[in-house]
Structure 1
Amino acid sequence: MEGQEETKLELFLQWLQANMVELRGCSIKYCGPNKGFGIFSSDDVVEGILLVVPLDLAITPMRVLQDPSLGPKCRAMFEEGEVDDRFLMILLLTVERLRKNSSWKPYLDMLPTTFGNPLWFTADELQELKGTTLYRATELQKKKLQLVYDDKVKNLVKELLLLDGDSESEVQFEDFLWANSIFWTRALNIPFSRAYVFPQMPEEQENCCSSETQVQEKAEKSCGVSGVQNKTGEDTSPSTQGETVWVEGLVPGIDFCNHDLKAAATWEVDVTGLVTGVPSSMYLLSADQIPYQIEKEIFISYGNKGNEELLYLYGFVINNNPDDFLMVHYPVEAFQNVPFTETKAQLLETQMAEMRCLLPRSLLDRGFFSTLPLQDEASDKCQSGWDCTYSWSGQRKKPSYLNKLVFPEEFLAALRTIAMQEEELLHVSALLEELGCGEERQPSAAEVQAAVWEACGDSGALQLLVDLFHMKMMELEEGSGTEDCDTELLEKAHVMEMPEEYVRDTESRDGGQLMSRNRWSSIVYRRGQKQLTRLFLREAENALQLCLSEQS
């Protein structure tokens, strides 16, 4: 380890000790420029508890609102709805990074200064993502962050630093980008007891309490769909007598655990202190009964995430990721040009149909080309949620391929509706009239789904799906070639932990291609996207062939 990293670590360990953090069965060590610091096992693990952190040390929206310097200004903006709870934490990180005498300095110095997510890519590295979903998403996100910085952050940080007596520090967009990346790569969704989040407060603190109530309301609304996931992938709900409030936050110490598919530890919250002896604390718990090998790195799991999500949020990928997925969507702009747009839009809304879908790799395990055992007939159930009689007139029978169709019904329902011809739309109206649907009784989602399927079957939807996959493959291959081209690049690659401009177009001694970590991650991700597109295209083509043969 370099001397500079040793000094940082020593100061950080002193800071943890001063803040009552207990390293009971682990140590923190430097893992290299790509991974930064990690947590390693030691020989004194007691009851599987590796690390204990008081939640008073966590960076949460409540902490920002209670901060003597930031609090008053942030409360005013928060109550007016100008900023949200995530912005508060990102703002705190931005300000503390620039403060000369920040109490958080030993922690902040340990954090990475650059990241492997596409927001930090060079222009050349970003070109490696062209044709993928991430390419466009990265462009849009960077523009959005730049606007937020220009409109809110720049002057606000200057003002807050001046209130702190600092007129010399200059805030840059990179400071805000850094804080944004720190939050998204390290934040946890933490279950607090309500009594801890909303303690009884004196009357003069009612304004602060009002702001904290808004934090709670937003946290409750975002629970489960917040985008910041529990890194353990486990149910960490504490067993408490009171109500649980989920709040996003950073927990220094715990957040140095790196990710692995096979987690060796999980984190839990100890509200009462009966487990750790430290009330209102978070602790790292060994997931194995078997004693750790000494000095072995301890990993947690960030959950079952595909490379698209891993690269976008955390800045790394997993080669041959079993949890990879493909996003497929029907373009909104194309829908505006289909015949009978308004009528079809109403049918889509009634059916609660989706214009996009996520296709996990695991779906292929039950597809046409799966090598896994067939499902039992008893478990062969319609995936759509509507009555699987399929035809009340008897004109259409249940497809023979149904139990092998891997595509979500909500998406197929949208494609059927989009592909319908005029006579098929009329047929749908007639079928719904038979059921007595009209001005007095609106048809249900199941009734419309069944009517649309009887009127047009699956052939139009499956043909549209095949076309979407062909279009996606063309976009993926346009700038980077085929899946085989990517495989060849990866086989010859020697990954270097340095920026692209220093290693591009350079050969190693054995003839391999020197490649930056960011470029390697991009190729792994896009190759996975091409592979999934090819495999799901094969499923769609086979389903279409069977559908047409049964219709004929």
Structure 2
Amino acid sequence: MTRSQDPKQAFSAWLRANGAHLDSLAFKQSADGAQSRGTGVFTNSSVTLHESIPLASVPATLLVSMDLVLQAAKEGTSDSARRLASCMNGASRALAAPQTSGPGWERTTLLIFLLWGYASLVRGEEASTACGDDKQRLDATFWAPYIRILPDIGEIDTPVLWTDNAALAGLEGTELAAGVKAKRSALLREFEKLRPHLNLLDAGGGDIFTPERFAWADAVFWSRVLGLGQALREFGGQPNASSDYHLIPLVDFCNHSPDANIRWHISEDQSHVVELRSTPTKGDAPLEVPADSELFISYGDRPNAEFLFIHGFVLPDNPANVLKLSVPFLENRFLNSDEEPQEDPTLEDDDAVRTAALNSLAVKTALLKDLGIRGMLTLAQPQYPVSDSDELPDPTTIVDPTFGMLSQRAACAMAVAVLTPQDGVERTEAGKYVIGGHELRETTVPALRAALETLPHWEVLRLRVWAVLLEIVNYKLCALYEGEETWRENRDDGASAPASAARIAKVQMFREGQKTMLLAACQLLQGLQERWAELDVVCSFLSEMQN
């Protein structure tokens, strides 16, 4: 590869020279209207897609994983491999366990790989034109065509890398505002810890790595990585494969579409080739695709918050949009409040109240952890039944009165969160959980649900859930409207640069999706609260409490 050679053509040639098959494909600039999608995968001639026939393939020798990086550091003999070994040794010492094992360490090694390749490219080291054997794969210059075609800092349009204040201000009032700030702070702390060791990757001895470059590597990783480990262990004949995260040159340039026409697939033989094949079609009929058509894979059914945060795009009217919120334990209202605690006649003093709250919170969090529920809940868009009638069924008569907004797991987590000391949630010395005096037979969601339903005031508990959720949703809705008003007042719509205008349009679409979700949740929860407040059992219970 020469510096004057087109990066896309050089990348294609490199793939072919090293065993990849992509005869019908080319890499071209992709766009959705005025919004750039970066480099995409296109047909260079008309093709017929068959689900059982690979359209393209990437050999196992071109898959980038932690195993490759560790092998290069251990067995590589080039100067760049020795620099990598020094960096890896230093990084493993700088990071305390558990950061040197599991998914976190896999991510770190792949970030180091990307920065290793970047440093080699910056210093002008050229890749060999010969086919890659194991020794060549262990040298940074081998990967230069891949590193060179990756989007640079200014081409990755994710909020963590934005310098556009107008777009960043548009995130205020949404769940991403705090997420972006937290991510930036975490990356900066991580970079400062690794910086002395990353600098060992630079043959020039200079300081070419910046916080922005480290954030670039993180963005490249998260927007491209695929979890192949489980598939390799189950279908690829590699029962001892230790790496899960993989970067796959060629496959990772496929853009997303809800109407994807191709998918990635691991070959069933021992070659462990990653293939691109047609998505299933009706009756297994072949799919005719004209020349110069972009091919898309699916990144999965994900909400716009995730798409924007990781990939830098949003989908209009995304049916997978959700709201995420922390489990609202009642105990936190006291523990996190600066206000004077309300008197509890069953407890002697404030210290006792705090101790009781901490103990109750510990039992609840342990219970949810054992159920596989870790701190966050997801509210989906309600799916109302299609009917000729405009009226919905009475929610008190159906299994799921939220129409899919709350999964059974989320509903149980909410019920646990709003249990009071009077409701009785305890843990025995034997580690068993007790709800309302009834010991759980097993720590499962169905068993918990059954125990909750035996409570004489189960419907009161559900009313409590609707009320707490409605309060949270209303708070988020107010924050969204306030953020919108502030954004509108201070935004310079002279964001005349096309990139800025497109980014602001993206943010606006994201905000509208959040607003739609919150309004739908608010309407549903208001109706549920009003209906449950009318139930005789609820009215009787509340009347007894007042007396």
Q: Identify whether the pair has TM-score above 0.5, normalized to the shorter chain.
A: yes
Q: 2:495, 2:158 → 1: CA distance?
A: 25
- Equivalent in the alignment of 1:212: none
Q: 1:514, 1:111 → 2: CA distance?
A: 19
Matched to 1:459, the amino acid is L
- Give the alignment partner of residue 181 of structure 2, picking from 128, 139, 142: 139
1:291-337 deviation per Cα after TM superposition (whole angstroms, max 9, x unaligned) = 21221110000001110110111111101111111113345653625
Q: CA deviation at 1:462?
A: 1.4
Using a 3 Å threshold, how does the CA distance of structure 1 residues 71 and 412 change in structure 2: closer, same or farther? same
Secondary structure at 2:216 match in 1? helix
Aligned residues: 450
- Give the alignment partner of residue 110 of structure 1, picking from 149, 154, 158: 149
Q: 2:473, 2:513 → 1: CA distance?
A: 14
Secondary structure at 1:404 match in 2? coil
Q: Is the 8 A contact 2:255 2:297 kept in 1?
A: yes
- Equivalent in the alignment of 2:468: 464
Secondary structure at 1:326 match in 2? strand
Q: 2:443, 2:300 → 1: CA distance?
A: 41
Using a 3 Å threshold, how does the CA distance of structure 1 residues 77 and 347 change in structure 2: closer, same or farther? closer
Q: 2:258, 2:420 → 1: CA distance?
A: 47
- Give the alignment partner of residue 380 of structure 2, picking from 360, 365, 369: 360
Q: CA deviation at 1:423?
A: 5.0
Q: 2:55, 2:262 → 1: CA distance?
A: 9
- Equivalent in the alignment of 2:345: none
- Equivalent in the alignment of 1:454: 457
| TM-score (structure 2 length as normaliser) | 0.72
Secondary structure at 2:260 match in 1? coil
Q: CA deviation at 1:251?
A: 0.9
Q: CA deviation at 1:255?
A: 1.1
Deviates more, 1:261-270 or 1:241-250: 241-250
Deviates more, 1:410-419 or 1:36-45: 410-419
- Equivalent in the alignment of 1:302: 299
Q: 2:376, 2:115 → 1: CA distance?
A: 36
Q: 1:356, 1:239 → 2: CA distance?
A: 34
Q: 1:403, 1:442 → 2: CA distance?
A: 22
1:72-94 deviation per Cα after TM superposition (whole angstroms, max 9, x unaligned) = 65267549745411100101101
- Equivalent in the alignment of 1:7: 6
Q: 1:435, 1:462 → 2: CA distance?
A: 24
Q: CA deviation at 1:61?
A: 0.5
Using a 3 Å threshold, how does the CA distance of structure 1 residues 416 and 242 change in structure 2: closer, same or farther? closer
Secondary structure at 2:400 match in 1? helix
Using a 3 Å threshold, how does the CA distance of structure 1 residues 452 and 354 change in structure 2: closer, same or farther? farther
- Equivalent in the alignment of 2:526: 541
Q: CA deviation at 1:30?
A: 2.1
Secondary structure at 2:27 match in 1? strand
Matched to 2:272, the amino acid is S
Q: Report 1:429-444 matches (<5 A).
A: none
Q: Report 1:410-421 matches (<5 A).
A: 410-419=409-418
Q: CA deviation at 1:36?
A: 1.8
Matched to 2:457, the amino acid is E
Deviates more, 1:313-322 or 1:23-32: 23-32
Q: Does 1:505 align with 2:490?
A: no
- Equivalent in the alignment of 1:341: 357
Q: Does 1:61 align with 2:53?
A: no
Q: CA deviation at 1:95?
A: 2.1
Q: 1:53, 1:12 → 2: CA distance?
A: 13
Matched to 2:401, the amino acid is K
Q: CA deviation at 1:169?
A: 5.6
The percent identity for this pair of structures is 19
1:22-45 deviation per Cα after TM superposition (whole angstroms, max 9, x unaligned) = 213222222258222111122355
Using a 3 Å threshold, how does the CA distance of structure 1 residues 184 and 422 change in structure 2: closer, same or farther? closer
Q: CA deviation at 1:405?
A: 2.5
Q: Does 1:176 align with 2:217?
A: no
Matched to 2:63, the amino acid is A
- Equivalent in the alignment of 2:315: 318
- Equivalent in the alignment of 1:233: none
Matched to 1:341, the amino acid is A
Secondary structure at 1:35 match in 2? strand
Q: CA deviation at 1:146?
A: 0.4
Q: Is the 8 A contact 1:24 1:45 kept in 2?
A: no
Q: 2:10, 2:208 → 1: CA distance?
A: 26
Q: Report 1:398-409 matches (<5 A).
A: 399-406=396-403, 407-409=406-408
Q: Is the 8 A contact 1:264 1:298 kept in 2?
A: yes
- Give the alignment partner of residue 74 of structure 1, picking from 81, 84, 88: 88
Q: CA deviation at 1:472?
A: 1.1
Q: CA deviation at 1:5?
A: 10
Q: 1:425, 1:296 → 2: CA distance?
A: 62
Using a 3 Å threshold, how does the CA distance of structure 1 residues 280 and 477 change in structure 2: closer, same or farther? same
Secondary structure at 2:383 match in 1? helix
Q: Is the 8 A contact 2:146 2:249 kept in 1?
A: yes
Matched to 2:527, the amino acid is N
Q: CA deviation at 1:183?
A: 0.7
Q: 1:126, 1:434 → 2: CA distance?
A: 47
- Give the alignment partner of residue 118 of structure 2, picking from 97, 102, 108: 97
Q: Is the 8 A contact 2:435 2:451 kept in 1?
A: no
1:369-390 deviation per Cα after TM superposition (whole angstroms, max 9, x unaligned) = x43589xxxxx9xxxxxxxxxx
Q: 1:538, 1:420 → 2: CA distance?
A: 24
- Equivalent in the alignment of 1:385: none
Q: 1:49, 1:459 → 2: CA distance?
A: 54
Using a 3 Å threshold, how does the CA distance of structure 1 residues 412 and 453 change in structure 2: closer, same or farther? farther
Q: CA deviation at 1:522?
A: 1.5
Q: CA deviation at 1:460?
A: 1.9
Using a 3 Å threshold, how does the CA distance of structure 1 residues 335 and 118 change in structure 2: closer, same or farther? farther
Matched to 1:477, the amino acid is Y
Q: CA deviation at 1:17?
A: 2.3
Q: CA deviation at 1:341?
A: 2.0
Q: 1:335, 1:373 → 2: CA distance?
A: 48
Q: Is the 8 A contact 2:65 2:247 kept in 1?
A: yes
- Equivalent in the alignment of 1:39: 41
Q: Report 1:143-162 matches (<5 A).
A: 143-152=185-194, 154-161=195-202
Q: Does 1:253 align with 2:250?
A: yes
- Equivalent in the alignment of 1:204: none
Gaps of 5+ in 2: 126-140, 342-352, 429-433, 540-547
Matched to 2:249, the amino acid is P
RMSD of aligned residue pairs (Cα, Å): 4.0
Matched to 2:386, the amino acid is T
Using a 3 Å threshold, how does the CA distance of structure 1 residues 12 and 348 change in structure 2: closer, same or farther? closer
Q: 1:246, 1:148 → 2: CA distance?
A: 22
Using a 3 Å threshold, how does the CA distance of structure 1 residues 266 and 347 change in structure 2: closer, same or farther? closer
Using a 3 Å threshold, how does the CA distance of structure 1 residues 347 and 27 change in structure 2: closer, same or farther? closer
Q: Is the 8 A contact 1:365 1:372 kept in 2?
A: no
Gaps of 5+ in 1: 195-219, 221-236, 274-278, 375-379, 381-397, 490-500
Secondary structure at 1:316 match in 2? coil
Q: 2:253, 2:443 → 1: CA distance?
A: 55
1:513-538 deviation per Cα after TM superposition (whole angstroms, max 9, x unaligned) = 99522222221112111110110111
